[in-house]
A and B are shown apart, each in its own frame.
Chain A
Amino acid sequence: MTNKTISRRRFLKTVSGASIAAAGFPYFVPACALGQARTTGRAAPSGRIVIGCIGVGGQGTSNMNAFMNNPDTQVVAVCDVERGRAAYRGSTFGREPAKQLVEKYYANQKGSGTYKGCAAYSDFRELLARKDIDAVSVCTPDHWHGLISIAAARAGKDIYCEKPLANTVFEGRVIADTVKRYGRILQTGTHERSNDSVRFACELVRNGRIGKLQTISINLPCDEPHHAEIIKNAGPQPEMPVAEGFDYDFWLGPTPDEPYTERRCHFWWRFILHYGGGEMTDRGADIIDIAQLGNGTDSSGPVEITAKGKRLPKGLYDVFMEYEFEFKYANGVQMVGKSEGTRGLKFEGDKGWIFIHIHGGRLEAEPESLLKEVIGPNELHLGRSPGHQRNWLDCVKSRSEPIAPAEVGHRTGTICHLTNIALLTEKPIKWDPKAERVTNNTEADMMLTRPMRNPWYL
């Protein structure tokens, strides 16, 4: 690599930067381009990754703050179909509150001279059309992940997409294919994967320190206050006029037209199968993601899935709140899970076990001495992450593969969706991870994809 003093920004904008990523060679930004960062704490405008944040509810605003807290980023636009209003979380979430947050942040920063203010859009397509934006975050409800990520890739933007990557198996496949086609860097928001202790635990497993891996036990309970809230308000919800400032039809997007009720939308959507997959995708995506890492099956999946569970029968929320599931992998490993116990996963081998607490990543092991072991120089190393959002930003610059790229996010999401399908059909599923089809049940195979309301298509 020649050490040309080329501005990182111009480099990224040229074709060759992206193609080198496609060919698999990393490129490191010359220090001089970031020289200004050392004196003012912020990178020169040309050294910054320009970001637009699509979806600024709870998680979206938190991610947005995390992105801003880096010397080499600049958030210039936010987008949300919710304008922000007093009745919704006291005006803390939505595009207007987010815009104000961004502008306030940069007003307090030195070296922001050229900052022109943050735009607030309600239509993500307008944000994607901006030529100055390099990268976007997608923190919308699950049913929008596919359409926005694909459009972003086609518009030449890099993407940080919240988990689960997609709302159906087919959607995940299209996202991964489109990201590959356009040479984009996508990070799935499974931030636990960036946790030091998680990576260490998986190294111990992959290097045989617990012997031969036999079982991975998953505890995915629905025992938090928001679950209790759902169970308490399990009845049908009344129709109401759409809240002023909220573009409900756009929010629905590709999902069927159903009347507005407040408890359908912000935050609670995750308990309705049109828009999300319940706890199975909410925290299941994190936990199963780590299980895949520990099992070494990141680009594959199980071959058999069985599950049974219970749903709330009467009201709006039709996801599974109680469940038991079991996956069998071709390498002989069995993964079992239930909606009980301390949230986390346990890798069990014939010489010991390791339990990873979620969230936080605290480890327990038998024998305890495992936690003090050192992975040798000739053994498999999984690397460490500077933090999930930071890792994405680094990869946007270096064009190397992030910790949780699209294919990994897709494969993890697939397992979550297959479990939900197994729960719905109450029949075991035989899965071909290569062809990505269900081989023993046409009903389940039909459910890998879902039709979209006009005018949306993948």
Chain B
Amino acid sequence: MKGVKMRRLRIIQTVLLIVWCLSIFAGNSWGQVKPDELAKIEQAVPAKATVQSAKPRKLLVFNLCNGFKHSSIPYWDKALEIMGAKSGVYSVVVSSDMAMFKPENLNQFDAVCLNNTTRLQFDESLRKSLMDFVKGGKGIVGIHAATDNFYEWPEAAEMMGGQFAGHPWGGGGTWAIKIDEPNHPLMAAFKGKGFKIQDEIYRTKPPLYSRTKQRVLMSLDMSDGPTRSAEGVTPEDMDTGISWVKSYDKGRIFYCALGHDHAVTWNPAVLQHFLDGIQFVFGDYKVDTKPKPLVISGKGSEMDELFAKIKTYDWGQSRAPLSEVSELIRKAHTSPEQLKQMEKNLLEALVVADATDAGKQFVCRELSIIGTEQSVPALGAMLTDEKMSDMARYALERIPGAAVDEALRNALGKTSGKTKVGIINSLGQRRDSKAVSALGGLVGDSDQMVAGAALGALGQIADAQATKVLADAKGKVTGKLQLVALDAYLKCADKLVAEGEKDQALAIYKELYKENQPKPIRTAALRGIVSLTKKEEK
């Protein structure tokens, strides 16, 4: 049924595509920018360059498409041409002939602009030519679909810093962009303020895209509802770069994902951004290209913003920001320093006064796996709080180390009722021998739940001291607690068998097989006796 539906969908898609293409041809002959649009471009282009050129520059605007051909291409051809002329910075040669990449043709240019080129095929010699061009001190400006290339040439894909892998953010939609580097020279056009724009945005496909390899200047703002919940967005898309710069050997790369919608080509801020980027690639505008990895401390970093989202997360909201944090933590698992930093950030989110319960619970779930002694003070403090105690134990119970046991033991005397029961259970689960004395003191507690939990925990610990306590307690407790004590005592016997102490175990089983014991206990005791005597017969 699925196959048929898909086929039908494909047919409909193809028909619509044909109709759409025809309409384009009918209304607007491809390749022609309408006069009024041309006027808009001329209006929008920057009046002058930000910096002086060392000399007149030449830009190859390349627009060959072996894959999808964007209708915005002629708009960019024009915009780039007009921009170069008006500012006086550069002249252009527009071409779709691969021969332009031959060394003798290429070396007249200061930079190559890949104007929405798709699926370019570079043979051996052209590959060498382009690489020599960039590595030797020149560079590439990429517009939008420039990342829809180099599928068979991994080195170039790596150089670009990203590759097309779908576009959940379609051309008809309006998407939010945040400025990661408001003070970076190439971001001056946007005056430090995030914005919304109607355009199509591509996925960037890590690890080709990575903040450890390129300096990301702006990216999709996932705190914006529609952007975060676009059809098909996954947790891996949480960091989707829009613009970036990169030093590549002696050369330079500038890429901007904007440029699918025609209107982008007469957006003044975007055009200024491009001109600044082009001047950077020419080598005239010296800017910082040092990558800024996501994992750093200090106010205002990516990481801090991410973890800040935990504090405001509440039930009924999309889980996406939490998934993103989990993803980061999972990736950091091979690096103890990174994990330590993650733990620190999680703890900050935990102790803040106005953090939501939902956020704190998420933190405790993560700390349950990656927590260390670093977390014990904060979590320990939560143990005595009736509302927070369970959450704290969720984290603490699986964190190894004596500090946790100590924190639990300390909280024992300061709590009562169900909260106390929880702490007793965790001590039992952790097999804390040092808690046996305190637990022994609780088996006679007036709160039946507490007494029962203490007996159960002693059965979990089941060391020599606990066994003695239980041997004594089982005769003193009454009612429902009897079975609890006896079950715990049985566990001690089973543990003795496992440790090879057959005589001691047999003594306990025989004691529990006496007539006056409850039936399930006698059953278990007999089983124990039989299993031990069978072994001896061998």
Binding site for B on A (CB under 8 A): 13, 15-16, 18-19, 22-23, 154-156, 177, 180-183, 223, 235-239, 256-259, 261, 310-311, 313-316, 318, 424-427, 443, 446-447, 449, 451-458
Contacts and interface: CB of A to CB of B under 8 A. Distances in A.
Best-surrounded residue of B370, B425, B523, B526 (most CB of chain A within 10 A) = B523
B229 A314 contact: yes
B127 interface: no
Contacts of A424: 330
A315 to B, nearest CB: 6
Given A155-B520, A182-B520, A258-B361, 17 more contacts: A19-B527, A23-B534, A183-B526, A237-B316, A238-B316, A310-B234, A313-B234, A314-B229, A316-B319, A426-B330, A446-B369, A451-B394, A455-B422, A455-B425, A455-B453, A457-B456, A457-B457
A256 B390 contact: yes
A443 B370 contact: yes
Given A23-B530, A446-B368, A455-B453, A156 B319 contact: no
B66 interface: no
A261 B358 CA distance: 15
Given A313-B234, A446-B369, A453 B390 contact: yes
24 contacts: A15-B519, A18-B526, A19-B526, A19-B527, A22-B531, A23-B530, A154-B520, A156-B519, A156-B523, A181-B491, A181-B494, A183-B526, A223-B2, A238-B316, A256-B365, A257-B390, A314-B319, A449-B398, A454-B418, A455-B418, A455-B421, A457-B429, A457-B453, A458-B429
A256 B397 CA distance: 14
A16 B422 CA distance: 38
Interface string B389-413: 1110110011000000000000000
B419 interface: yes
Contacts of A449: 398, 429
A451 B421 contact: no
A454 B229 contact: no
A443 B323 CA distance: 17
A272 to B, nearest CB: 11
B318 A236 contact: yes
Contact of B369 (A183, A443, A456): A443
A22 B369 contact: no
Contacts, number: 132
Interface in B482-538: 483, 487, 490-491, 494, 519-520, 522-524, 526-528, 530-531, 534
Interface in B416-451: 418-419, 421-422, 425-426, 428-429, 449
Contact of A453 (B422, B520, B534): B422
A457 B234 contact: no
Given A156-B519, A256-B390, A318-B319, A454 B421 contact: yes
Contacts of A256: 361, 365, 390-391, 394
Interface in B75-89: none
Contacts of A453: 390, 394, 422
B283 interface: no
A313 B235 contact: yes
B483 A313 contact: no
Contacts of A318: 319
Best-surrounded residue of B389, B449, B487, B528 (most CB of chain A within 10 A) = B487
A451 B429 contact: yes
Contacts of B369: 443, 446-447
Nearest to B326: A424
Interface string B154-184: 0000000000000000000000000000000
B109 to A, nearest CB: 44
Contacts of B368: 446, 451
A181 B524 contact: yes
A92 B425 CA distance: 38
Interface in B56-106: none
Lowest 3 CB-CB distances: which A-B pairs, in order?
A454-B422, A156-B520, A457-B425
B535 to A, nearest CB: 12
A15 B315 CA distance: 52
B335 interface: no
Contacts of A310: 234
Contacts of A425: 330, 333
Nearest to A443: B369
Contacts of B421: 454-455
Contacts of A156: 519-520, 523
Contacts of B315: 236, 239, 258-259
A425 B330 CA distance: 7
A427 B331 CA distance: 10
B317 interface: yes
B320 interface: yes
Best-surrounded residue of A182, A238, A451 (most CB of chain B within 10 A) = A451
Contacts of A239: 315-316
B48 to A, nearest CB: 46
A181 B524 CA distance: 5
A454 B390 contact: yes
B318 A235 contact: yes
Contacts of B490: 181
Interface string B1-32: 01000000000000000000000000000000
B318 to A, nearest CB: 4
Given A239-B316, A446-B368, A15 B523 contact: yes
Given A256-B361, A454-B422, A455-B425, A314 B394 contact: no
A183 B527 contact: yes
Nearest to B364: A256
A443 B336 CA distance: 13
A425 B370 CA distance: 12
